[in-house]
Structure 1
Amino acid sequence: MKLILITALFQTLLFASYSGILVDKNTSAPIINATISDSTISVKSDENGSFTIDTNETYIHVKAYGYRPYKINTENNISNAELVSITVKALYLSFWSANTTSKKIKQVLKMIDETEINALVIDIKNEYGSTLFKTSFEQANSYGAHENRTNRDIEGFMELLKSKNIYTIARIVTFKDELQASNNPDYAIKKIDGSIWRNHDNMAWVDPFDSRSHEYAIAMAEEAAKVGFDEINFDYIRFPAKSGLAFCETNNQENRVETIGRFIDLAQNKLRKYGVFISVDTYGNICWSDDDNNIGQTVVSLAKHADYISPMLYPSGFASGSFYFENPSEHPYAVIYRSIKNIEDRIDSKRVRPWLQYFKDYAHTKKHYRKFEVREQIRAAEDINTSGWMMWSPSSTYHLNYFVKEDE
């Protein structure tokens, strides 16, 4: 009996309850079903926006769909925590452009100052495995991942972005990683003959079934979280769309889907203490498929684990005949709207943030995507009430006037 009392007293001293109410800063409406976390546990806000979390930590983090991340100091007693809503309108900034001195960043920052753009997607680890800045992740550094870095002042760079209230998204190329695979052939994806497989651009991949590939990508994501990114975006978080390859586990749909879900859960747990959102990139046809397309991704499975999903809804990526159009790229509004409408029964549209096309049609008529096509995609994303959109230009070349609405 004495031992039980001592244990209860110890637990009381160890953990203190912190309670609060989450409200929308503009409307004062309660924020329901938000996730409140310290480094080890998470709780949800109720229908009144109220929550209680048992923690002895100084800071806790709040994540609510459609809002910026929010950090609470538990040493301060506040009645209401006011969260700021955001519809993310992001441009992709390549590995080669994401530093304080590049011409691209100067152009992009001007656009952010003068248009609706409020967010950037920035390469932290690219397809080769190189890192944007020198991280504290010694395994990657030992492979020379930092040798081609293009940002030598990540703290100053992030300070610049935060000074402009830019929502920052760190893109991590996950299982496609030449450096990691070539330095770890024991868990690289292989051909049936046992040699390392490389895809059409001569890049090797690590085996998504192997837990070491999970730990590596998540360690890289943690480096991005440490320097202050709001969101981690996992790209190539899938199996290769290629048959006849050798893996360390049986390569069937059940195993693939379970593995991708396990990876995202591990990322959520490891990154919990930073309060970052987690988004995952998918093929556009995920919106129209009942199976996993042999890559381990379905809308239902990803919705169980990730905060946001980002289908690459490039109209040029859909085959002739899709949507009953001979050339889907001629119908940018319909492609975006219909695709997201088709998955409303599986995931709330406010948890969908599509990638949109900002490049020449490569599949059909070879037409250039200019202001009309870009704005039609944006209009569709807005009409279907997504959490926003992310614009993909491989060269990070954008036109300011494309993002100024006609009625402004």
Structure 2
Amino acid sequence: MSDSAPKDSARKRKRVLIPAVGVVVLLLIAGVVTTIVHSRGVGLAVDDLTDGLSITPSGVERVSITTTDPGELHRVTVHVDGQPVEAQRADGRMTLTGVKLGEGEHTLTVRADNPLPWLPDAEVERRFTVDATPPELRVDVAEAKSPRGPVTVRGSVDGADSVLIGDQRVPVRDGRFEASLASVPMLIRVGANDAAGNAQHHDVAVKVTHPGMRGVHMSAAAWATASLRDPVLAMAREGRIDTVQLDIKDESGEIGYDSQVPLARQIGANRNHYDARAVLDELHGLGLRVVGRLVAFRDPVLGKASWESGARDRVAQNASGAPWSAHYGQYAFTNFANPEVRDYNIAIAKEAASLGFDDILYDYVRRPDGPIGQMAFPGLTTSAEQSIVDFLRDNRAAVRPLGAYLGASVFGIAAHSPLDVAQDIPAMSAHVDYVAPMVYPSHWGPGEYGVDNPNARPYEIVRASVADFVRLTEGTGAAVIPWLQAFSLGHAYGPREVQAQVVATADAGAPSFLLWNAACAYGSAGLEPA
């Protein structure tokens, strides 16, 4: 018995070991088989869709399903929320083109039959959310203190963590955003994107409110004359005015300083009455604004040079094709529809803004007065009124980045007779910072605005006419800064008459003004210190 017991124990140990060895072998074999199946089976990949992702409805179409062997795509089935969907097969992948999903949570299940039936099928599942609602974006204000900047943009947004203002990304805190930009464009694009990729944007016009002024007109030649210049500087020091309007290019077509605009030099328009930079430094040093008056289309220098050089389309013509003259003289009016004429004036405006003029104030920004049927403007493809509006639009886009305001002097009668000189006040106002109506009492006929003798009743006629312009510019962002009469024509004008106009324009809702005296003599203006 002692000999047999150990033998039985050995046999038992062997029986135990053999199965154990067998298990190890089977596991090894299973490991080899698994490796082979993985290398020969269907490997699935779902691109552009991760668990928990939010996407737009169109984002579903960017989802791409691929297999390690494109030849196995036929084994793949696709389900959304447990329902089979038809995926499109092309270029070695499957897409969900044509699958329409509503907003909310969804589950994508992609399954591939394994070619070895004893192994499990391959499967990928993704839970995601479809979001079709863009952020709610509101821009409260995009406003600059001056065209020289900065501009402040404020607003609110729901559904986004940041907004893009121009090219600047701005964080959102408690649903609000605010940013300050150094430069002042005409329009600022404010946009927001949510996590799904929904976008909302607004193109916002930048509001630049003119600060107002109390100014007087000075021609270039007058500024070069000490006896006329010094009283104006004295008025400034006494606080009676805060602005000097200095001519850049006047009715004669002459430019008061040494312009570097090539066409100006070519046609001999420069007169060098003043050194622009020196004058601007002096007046700015006194705390004064400087408005550069730029006569646009009444330009006999350009008109004559153009006609004689063969560039006749630059000149306003009569019905027979000769230069239009009427009471202004030959070659007096250039063609506002001609691109070269427009570009010439814009080039001068840009130069003046670059030099430091605070405002560019256009005058004669109109067609000649008179029957339009007797006139011809080569190249005019729209109405005369629209052409003038487009010219001003292009000018503001040109001078705003250079830090200058843009104004337009207009006829007083344009408020109710816009076709007479092609000055549509509401349309023009949308593209300037202010309009400057010439409401001189001496220029109104009896009975205008119910005033029997306007020249003798400056308060009544100025208040009525300025109020009309305030009404016409409402909502455009343009201020009204009228030209007032500081000269005598048919009625003696002194301090009382001038002051009556100043009070009238303030009472009409436009407290700023510019005084006009062609002789640039303002000793009898009687302006009180501000």
Task: Give the number of equivalent residue pairs.
Answer: 343
Corresponding letter in the other structure for 2:399: L
Identify the structure with the greater strand proportion: 2
The 1-side partners of 2:145 and 2:341 are apart by 28
Shift of 1:139: 0.9
1:351 has 2:479 as partner: yes
Task: Work out whether residues 300 and 347 of structure 1, in 8 Å CA contact, stay in contact via their aligned partners in 2.
Answer: yes
Does the alignment pair 1:333 with 2:459?
yes
TM-score (ref. length: structure 1):
0.76
* Counterpart position of 1:200: 327
Give the 3 Å change call, closer, same or farther, for CA 239–44 of structure 1 in structure 2: farther
Could you tell me how far 1:124 is from its partner in structure 2? Answer: 0.4
Cα shift at 1:249:
4.5
AA of the residue aligned to 1:224: A
Instruction: Give unmatched runs, 5+ long, in structure 1.
Output: 2-30, 64-82
SS in 2 for 1:60: coil
Structure 2 residue aligned with 1:178, among 291, 300, 317? 300
Partner SS for 2:216: strand
Separation in 2 of the partners of 1:293 and 1:170?
A: 27
Aligned to 1:216: 344
Q: What does the per-residue CA deviation read over 1:188-236, in whole Å, with 9 as the maximum and x for residues that have no partner?
A: 1112222222242425211111121110111111121121010000000
Query: Cα 1:35–1:54, aligned 2, differ >3 Å: closer, same or farther?
Result: farther
Partner of residue 160, structure 1: 282
Equivalent residue for 2:258, pick from 131, 134, 138: 134
Residue 269 of structure 1, aligned match among 394, 397, 422: 397
Contact 1:36 1:61 in 2 (8 A): no
Give the drift of 1:107: 1.2
Q: Which residue of 1 aligns with 2:218?
A: 93
Aligned to 1:284: 412
Q: Distance in 2 between matches of 1:356 and 1:182?
A: 32
Query: 1:403 offset after TM fit, Å?
Result: 1.0
Match of 1:324 among 450, 465, 471: 450
Report if aligned partners of 2:151, 2:182 keep a CA contact under 8 Å in 1.
no
TM-score by length of 2: 0.60
Give, in whole Å, the separation in 1 of the partners of 2:447 and 2:387. Answer: 33
In the aligned structure 1, how far is the partner of 2:439 from the partner of 2:147? 35
The Cα shift of 1:84 comes to: 11
% same residue: 23
CA contact 1:61–1:273 (8 Å) conserved in 2: yes
- For the aligned residue pairs, the C-alpha RMSD in angstroms reads 3.1
Distance 2:484 2:155 in 1: 34
1:260 maps onto 2:388 in alignment: yes
Could you list the runs of 4 or more consecutive aligned residues of structure 1 that deviate by over 6 angstroms after TM superposition?
36-39
Q: 1:384 to 1:36 in 2, by over 3 A?
A: closer
The alpha-carbon deviation at position 400 of structure 1 amounts to 6.7
Q: 1:16-66: per-residue Cα shift (whole Å, max 9, x none)?
A: xxxxxxxxxxxxxxx955259999xx9874479xx94437xx952489xxx
> Residue 216 of structure 2 aligns to which amino acid in structure 1?
L
Matched, 1:237 2:340: no
| Mapped partners of 1:378, 1:350: distance in 2 | 20
For residue 518 of structure 2, give the secondary structure of its aligned residue in structure 1. coil
3-state secondary structure, aligned to 1:172: strand
Matched, 1:390 2:517: no
Contiguous gaps of at least 5 residues in structure 2: 1-46, 48-139, 157-163, 169-180, 187-207
**Aligned mates of 2:484, 2:491 — CA distance in 1:** 16
Corresponding residue SS for 1:390:
strand
Larger relative contact order, structure 1 or 2 (CA cutoff 8 Å, min sep 6): 1
Q: How does 1:80-119 map to 2 (within 5 A)?
A: 86-99=211-224, 102-119=226-243
